Amino acid sequence: MSFQGKKLINDSNAVVTEFIEGLVETYPGLQYLDGFPEVKVVLRADVLSSTYDYVSVISGGGSGHEPAHAGFVGEGMLTAAICGDIFASPPVDSILAGIRAVTGPKGCLLIVKNYTGDRLNFGLAAEQAKSEGYKVEMVIVGDDCALRPRGIAGRRGLAGTILVHKHGEPGAAVADLQPVDVVVAHVLMQILSAEINYVPIERGNNVVLMVNGLGATPVMELMIAAGKAIPRLQLEHGLAVDRVYTGNFMTSLDMAGLSITVMKVDEGILQRLDAPTKAPAWPVGVDGKRPPAKIPVPVPQSPNLQCNELSTRPQELSEQGHILEVAIEAAASELINMRDALNDWDSKVGDGDCGSTMFRGASAILEDMKKYYPLNDVTETIKEIGSSIRRVMGGTSGIIYDILFKASYAELKSTNQSTVTSKEWASALQAAIAAVSKYGGAIAGYRTLLDALIPALEVLQERLNTGDDPVDAFVISSEAALSGAESTKHMHAQAGRSTYISSDILASVPDPGAMAAASWYRASALAVKKFHQTS
């Protein structure tokens, strides 16, 4: 078999999950949520959200930076680590699963590196967790001094590493690099073969396993090797593995590869292996009592719903349900009609896909509204819109709109009212704007969708406070949204890919995101006005 690549892995798409499997086998104080491949969360085995009476500390990010972050999970440090794919921010569902798994009544703190993807994904997860009743706060860390930050990007979050090394030595043989399964199987067979009889180990014996890095092999690959060695020792060779040690114990400068050591043990040897030591590179001893390596993914808290109860469209709509339906339909239809125009604007100042992205979201909303949206319940309908967006809208736009609707849902839910007043709608919009600004970093004048929504909110609140008719206030505020979006032509971009575009090009078109927001906002306002005029 020809194996392309220079890494001790099986499948490049599975390296993170296989790394986690090896990690929890090596450190019995850790567990992972049984949600592979979407959910990749490492957590303390001694923490249960229902009984944990401390503030949980959660971090995470793209994998490939080991031992960060999973290597720092343990008493006195992280309660859980959320692992993304290689160099990719972890998805919202993984972050939520981690929050639900370890967060008790004291709440949790999210420690997030200053990357747009991390900020938005952790921010959306925080808003969703808050809407479920969790106490969540977030701190952004940016410590990079190598690059000068542009716009609102700020300094990146980084960390340093320490290398351990010693004198080199020759290998026993030279061979083409094989998948890690093949390498591990071959090495263990060499060690335990009855014909070769290197060590007096027989089926039924107790052993410890050491997977030792030689200097240039990443911790991820060592953990994958450990995870593959354990079941082979247990199933093929009939051995009980009492301890697993994985890491750089004896290296050869930056030599690539690893060594595997299997040692027969009894209770006396285990006691000596577990004895306290101040040697910094030796792993902490364990008592041999291992919790299960994986536990089920926790389900969202749903105090008001049975587990099998799903949102459905009511057979008959109330007046409020009818109004909500026409507003949603008008907003979504407007975005569908604007696909080409939005794409054209975005081709000049962005990725050229704003219209297509909004089209996918709007189409999903229209389709799901026919089946799932409980339109007579405004608050729950807002929640379902967010779910539709999350399912189909990719990129930054999808995250931002999901944050918008999650924050709106949390604000409306806090009122505990069956009907929503005009001022409560305004409060929900205010909460949504605040959440997007908090997690995305943008404010008024940064050439984003907030330049449409902030003027709309200001006019809406002003008109409502002076006693204007709510429908008229909605329509007038939509005019402010459109004016705000058009004014982005005169703004210098401070967020997103537009920060790299020259001012001359930016001045030729409005911000596509702002125009999209203004357009669906105005379309919904005019639809509500028409409904009241004809009813």
| Helix/strand/coil for 246 | strand
Q: Decide if 332 contacts 74 (C-beta within 8 A).
A: no
Residue matched to tokens 């009122």? 415
Phi and psi at 345, nearest 5°, equal -60, -45
Task: Report how far residue 207's alpha carbon sits from residue 242's, in angstroms, rounded to the nearest whole number.
Answer: 6
Q: Catalytic site residue 69?
A: no
Contact 29, 288 (CB under 8 A): no
* Burial of 191 (C-beta count, 10 Å sphere; 0-12/13-18/19+): middle
Size of the chain, expressed as the number of residues it contains: 535
Q: Measured between alpha carbons, how far is 489 from 26 in angstroms, rounded to an integer? A: 56
Q: Give the active site residue among 65, 69, 167, 532.
A: 167
Q: Cβ distance 113 to 62 under 8 Å? A: no
What does the alpha-carbon distance between residue 230 and residue 414 come to, in Å, rounded to a whole number? 50
User: From residue 417, how far is each of 179, 314, 432 by CA, in Å?
Assistant: 59, 19, 19
- Spacing of C-alpha 381 from chain mean position: 24
Q: If 0-12 CB within 10 Å is exposed, 13-18 middle and 19+ buried, where does residue 461 land? A: middle
Residue 138 DSSP class: E
Please provide residue 471's backbone torsions phi and psi, each rounded to the nearest 5 degrees: -65, -45
Which residues 6+ apart lie within 8 Å of 14 measured at CB? Answer: 37
Question: What is the set of active-site residues?
Answer: 167
